[in-house]
Amino acid sequence: MRPFLAILRYDLRTLASSWLVRLWLLGSAVLALLMLGAAWKEQQTAPLIAMLLVPYLVFPWFLVVMVLGVDPVSGARLDALADSILSRPVTRHEYLLASWAARLLVVQGVFLAVVVPVILRVVTAQRRVLEDHVTLYGVLAALAVVALVLTLQVTLGYLLGTVLRKPLLAIVVLLFAWYPSDLILHQLSWEQFSTISLSQAMPQLLRTPWHREAKPAERSSAAEIRKLAAQAAQLLSPFGATPTAARKPDFFQSGNYADFSLLRVLLGYGIPTVVALALTLLYFCRRDL
C-alpha cells in the first residue's frame, strides 16, 4: 500500500505543476463564464446547466482527458517505468492503479472545481426567464453521470496508451474511434452509449425529482398546450392570419428521451470502464518492459 500512495502523491504533484492541467483549469473556467454570460438572459435553468456540461461530454475537453490518459504508460516514461518496477519494490498493479487514480482525481477535480460553483450560481440566482424546476437529485445525478463519462475517457486513453505505447498514435486512434461511433450511436438516440445523446437528455435528468411519479402531469399539460396552439393556428389561417413560423428546436429540444433511465446510463458507461481497466491491467502485467 505504501508504494501505491507514494506513486499517487508523486503523480498528483507532477500533474499539479503541469502547464497542461493549469491551462485546462483556466480554459474551463473562462469557457464556462463565457457560456454563462451568453445564455444568462435567455436559457432556462436546466438547459443552461446542461450547456455548461457539454464541453466535458463532447468537445473540447475530451482531447485534454485523452492526453492525460495515454501519457503514464507510453512514450518517454517507459524507460523510467521499467527501472522503477524492476529495481524497486513496486508491482505493476500498484504503479498502474496509482497512476490511473492520480489522473482520475485531477480530471474530476478540475471538472468539479469549475462546474459546481457555476451551477450554484445558476440555481440560486434570480433571472428573468421562464420558471424551470431543477431538482437536487437531478443536479447530483448529472454530475455523477459526467464524472463517470470522464472516468471512461481516462480509462480508454490508459488502455490505448498501454497497448500502442506511442502517445500520439494512441490519441489519433482514440479520436477517430470515439467521435464516429458517438455520432452513429447518437442517430439511435442511445444516451447510455452516445455522449451527444446524453447531452441532449441532460435537461430532462436535471428536472427529475426523487419520485418520478410527480412529473407526467406536467409533461401532458405541456403537450396539450402545444396541441391547442397548433389547432388555433389552423383555425386562423383561412381568415388571413399567418401563423408564426415554427421555431427550429434547439440542441436540447431535438431529441426524444422520455424513457431516460439513469440506471441504464450508469451501466452503459460503467461496464466499459471496468472492462477497459481490467484489459489494461491484464495486458500490462503480461507484456515485457
Please write the tens of the pLDDT for every residue from 221-240. 444 434 444 544 554 455 44
Instruction: Let me know if residue 243 belongs to a domain.
Output: no
pLDDT score recorded for residue 161 = 85
Instruction: Let me know if residue 242 belongs to a domain.
Output: no
pLDDT score recorded for residue 129 = 77
Q: How many separate domains does the chain show?
A: 1
The Cα–Cα gap between 10 and 105 comes to: 13
Instruction: Let me know if residue 103 belongs to a domain.
Output: yes
The Cα–Cα gap between 15 and 104 comes to: 11
pTM, to two decimals: 0.82
Instruction: Let me know if residue 115 belongs to a domain.
Output: yes
Task: Give residue 203's domain range.
Answer: 2-233+250-286
pLDDT score recorded for residue 107 = 96
pLDDT score recorded for residue 231 = 47
pLDDT score recorded for residue 275 = 96
* 174 pLDDT more than 50: yes
Nearest CA among 257, 249, 250 for reference residue 186: 257
The Cα–Cα gap between 182 and 255 comes to: 15
Instruction: Let me know if residue 238 belongs to a domain.
Output: no
CA distances for 28 relative to 64, 75, 108, 201, angstroms: 11, 27, 12, 22
* 267 pLDDT more than 90: yes
Among the residue ranges 58-62, 82-86, 117-121, 208-212, the one predicted with the least confidence is 82-86
pLDDT score recorded for residue 8 = 87
pLDDT score recorded for residue 106 = 95
* 218 pLDDT more than 50: no
Instruction: Let me know if residue 244 belongs to a domain.
Output: no
Q: What is the mean pLDDT of residues 181-186?
A: 88
Please write the tens of the pLDDT for every residue from 140-155. 999 999 999 999 999 9
* 84 pLDDT more than 80: no
Please write the tens of the pLDDT for every residue from 192-212. 889 999 998 999 899 988 765
Nearest CA among 48, 60, 52 for reference residue 32: 52
The Cα–Cα gap between 119 and 53 comes to: 10
Instruction: Let me know if residue 141 belongs to a domain.
Output: yes
CA distances for 277 relative to 217, 226, 274, 281, angstroms: 43, 47, 5, 6
Mean pLDDT, the chain, rounded, equals: 80
